[in-house]
């Protein structure tokens, strides 16, 4: 039997640790079964490695979130520690300005919401906190070029979570997520958009402001689609 560390690292891969004929569901069940048995003697080792895997192997976050959701049915105390440590890491990433880690941990939180580990309303609070920070950073009249990139990043982080959990949020907390989308549209309407003539292929005909605004709203709406389904109207 492969060690729990190897199973955790190789989940989702075609490897000897998992049966070549097994599907992803079998991977999750196998990994969960081994971790459940090892929680009692090795919980202090499992927790940091699980979080490290989620941060360094973000393409496997759905697997890890599903395993955590199953473990939550057996050991709520362990999963509570996972959530608390994730929140601490997220706060540290915000304070240090680690953009990659912020984006990955938001994806992780969203996936854990889909696995019934955290409440949808709690995730919406995170979205609204970042949205509020972005809105107060950008001045309504003149904008704030020095900090607008940071504000834009916060908005991008929120939008990038929607393909991972937008359907669940729309189903479970429709009014709350609609409020977030309205806030994002309000932010997009006040952010400054400067056009550099040297970077334009065509002569400015006075429509650049409207065109830029339409593009921004198009990309915002693009994030509301997941697997061919419209998440929000």
Q: Report pLDDT for 135.
A: 82
Considering only CA atoms, give the Rg of the chain.
Answer: 21
As annotated, the residues of the chain forming the CATH 1.25.40.180 domain(s) are 1-115
**Topology of the domain comprising 1-115:** 1.25.40
Confidence (pTM): 0.80
**pLDDT tens string 129-188:** 999 988 887 655 555 555 788 889 999 999 999 999 999 999 999 999 999 999 999 888
Residues 6+ away with beta carbon under 8 Å from 183: 128, 131, 135
* Residue 2, phi-psi category: left (phi > 0), alpha (psi -120 to 50), beta (remainder): beta
CA 58 distance to own-chain centroid: 10
Q: Report pLDDT for 228.
A: 36
- What are the φ/ψ torsions at residue 100 (nearest 5 degrees)? -65, -45
**pLDDT tens string 48-107:** 999 999 999 999 999 999 999 999 999 999 999 999 999 999 999 999 999 999 999 999
Q: Report pLDDT for 197.
A: 56
Q: Report pLDDT for 225.
A: 42
* Least confident residue range of 15-29, 65-79, 120-134, 216-230: 216-230
Flag whether pLDDT at 212 surpasses 60: no
CA atoms lying within 13 Å on the CB side of residue 83: 22
Q: Report pLDDT for 157.
A: 95
The answer to whether the beta carbons of residues 167 and 224 sit under 8 Å apart is: no
């Amino acid at each position: 039997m492969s060690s729990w560390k190897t199973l955790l690292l190789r989940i989702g891969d075609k490897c000897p640790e998992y049966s070549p004929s097994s599907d992803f569901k079998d991977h999750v069940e196998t990994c969960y079964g081994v971790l459940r048995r090892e929680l009692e003697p090795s919980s202090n080792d499992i927790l940091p490695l699980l979080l490290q895997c989620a941060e360094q192997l973000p393409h496997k976050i759905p697997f890890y979130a599903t395993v955590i959701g199953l473990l939550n049915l057996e050991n709520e105390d362990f999963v509570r520690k996972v959530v608390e440590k994730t929140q601490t890491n997220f706060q540290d990433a915000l304070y240090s300005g680690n953009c990659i880690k912020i984006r990955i941990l938001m994806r992780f939180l969203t996936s854990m919401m889909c696995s019934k580990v955290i409440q949808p309303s709690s995730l919406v609070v995170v979205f609204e906190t970042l949205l509020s920070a972005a809105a107060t950073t950008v001045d309504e009249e003149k904008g704030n070029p020095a900090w607008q990139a940071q504000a834009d990043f916060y908005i991008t982080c929120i939008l990038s979570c929607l393909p991972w959990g937008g359907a669940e949020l729309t189903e479970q907390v429709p009014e709350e997520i609609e409020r977030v989308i309205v806030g994002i549209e309000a932010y997009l309407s006040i952010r400054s958009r400067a056009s550099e003539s040297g970077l334009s292929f065509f002569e400015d005909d006075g429509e650049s402001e409207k065109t830029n605004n339409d593009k921004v709203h198009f990309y915002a709406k693009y994030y509301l689609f997941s697997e061919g389904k419209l998440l929000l109207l």
